[in-house]
Amino acid sequence: MLDIKYIREHKEEVQANCANRLAVVDIASLLQLDDQRRELIGRIDALRGERNQKSKAKPTEVEIAKMKRVGEEIAELEKALSVAESELNAMLLAVPNLTHPEVLVSTDESENHVLETVGIIPKFDFEPLDHVALAVKHDLIEFERATKVSGAKFYYLKNDLARLELALVNYVVDLVIKHGYSLMTTPDLAKTEIIERLGFNPRGESTQVYNIEGTDLSLIGTAEITLGGLYADEVLDISELPKKYVGISHCFRTEAGSYSKFSKGIFRVHQFTKVEMFVYATPEQSEAIHQEILEIEKEIFSGLGLTYQVVDHCTADLGNPSYRTFDLEAWMPASPAVMKVEEGQAVINQLGRWGEITSTSNCTDYQARGLNIKYKTADGQKDYVYTLNGTAVATTRALIAILETNQQSDGSIVIPEVLRPYMGGQEII
């Protein structure tokens, strides 16, 4: 979350930033609530001081009665303060992070800026199959029985595709570790409080989070949550920074409202495996580390031989915790592209589209402030760390791009060379 002091001193800037990022927050009302909170704290402190002063001498009966009334008043004010702080905290969580000055200001999510395109869009001299048709041809994915067991948008990976997923994870982990990241496997569950303090919304109709009924736990949508919560309420030494982690986890998302023929197969699912990079840094280190994470993502997907573009999110498409976000979007040559909408219906008039495969964000001190993670300098000063995250690979979407890009005219699929050592030298599916 943002520093309330910063909001007080820059209220017009913060309100404009909310508007640019399509966040519906009334900063004036937030500050009014903060004033009420501070007034309550002042009254409580004054009454406690009065009570403490009287306790230094033997009180009279009249003073005892008065102090009893003071105690009751303090209790009532503390109840009011608890309500005010809860309401203020909810409003603060709705305020997005500040925005990098180079980010395009736009209220249209589609206006993300393409920074570069790597590779050449593949052309086929045959009608390419999408990943679902390829999976059927080679017996690689089980959809119907997964629906019977777990419901729609679940799946079983089978045979060579299951092996290919494991190969992909191992290739990515080996590559990221070479850049100095420590490997962790993380829990698939986190306390709802941790999710909230990181700046995600685990409740309400718009949530993408599965909550576990009767507990304070939720299924994670990314290992950013479990890696980000690792040092909650701790103070790190500046000599430890940056601390770099790469985590493997399952990820769970409700994907409410996303059911359509344009997210068929395993593009948008309720569960997938992801390898996630996460870094704790000083403010001075953060820009360089953000670029480092982006370069690692590019190295991974260039190594796989995929065509992709690098996208810089505009303000309308930034998540609340992010100061700046870059995506990689891979070319998926047999996936349907929505070219226009006629009478409320999406119309496809070509195959092939860009699909998001990675995302990396600099969250500055937004998450650390919510989680109370600080670092201490050599002279004993304390400040909030900066946190950064980046997808090394989300396996399902990467597998789509690999299958569709590497298909041959006979329906076979060439395994990327970098993955073959992890599959016993196998070259073709």
Whether residue 207 is predicted with pLDDT greater than 90 in this model: the reply is no
Q: Catalytic one among 322, 335, 359, 361? A: 359
Q: Catalytic one among 43, 356, 412, 420? A: 356
Q: What domains are defined for the chain?
A: 4-94 (1.10.287.40), 113-423 (3.30.930.10)
Q: What is the model's pLDDT at position 63? A: 76
Full-model pTM: 0.91
Q: Catalytic one among 37, 163, 397, 404? A: 397
Q: Who has greater pLDDT, 95 or 206?
A: 95
Closest CA to 321 of 198, 192, 190: 198
Q: Percent of the chain, pLDDT > 90?
A: 81
Whether residue 349 is predicted with pLDDT greater than 90 in this model: the reply is no
How many CB atoms neighbour CB 186 within 10 A? Answer: 22
377 — alpha (psi -120 to 50), left (phi > 0) or beta?
Answer: beta
Contact in structure between 344 and 359 (CB atoms under 8 Å): no
Residue 268 a catalytic site member: yes
Residue 397 a catalytic site member: yes
Q: Catalytic one among 21, 37, 163, 268? A: 268
Task: Label residue 66 by pLDDT band (50, 70, 90).
Answer: confident
Residue 69 a catalytic site member: no
Q: Catalytic one among 197, 253, 353, 369? A: 253
Q: What is the model's pLDDT at position 347? A: 55
Cα distance between residue 356 and residue 179, in whole Å = 23
Closest CA to 403 of 140, 118, 127: 140
Task: Label residue 184 by pLDDT band (50, 70, 90).
Answer: very high
Task: Label residue 206 by pLDDT band (50, 70, 90).
Answer: low
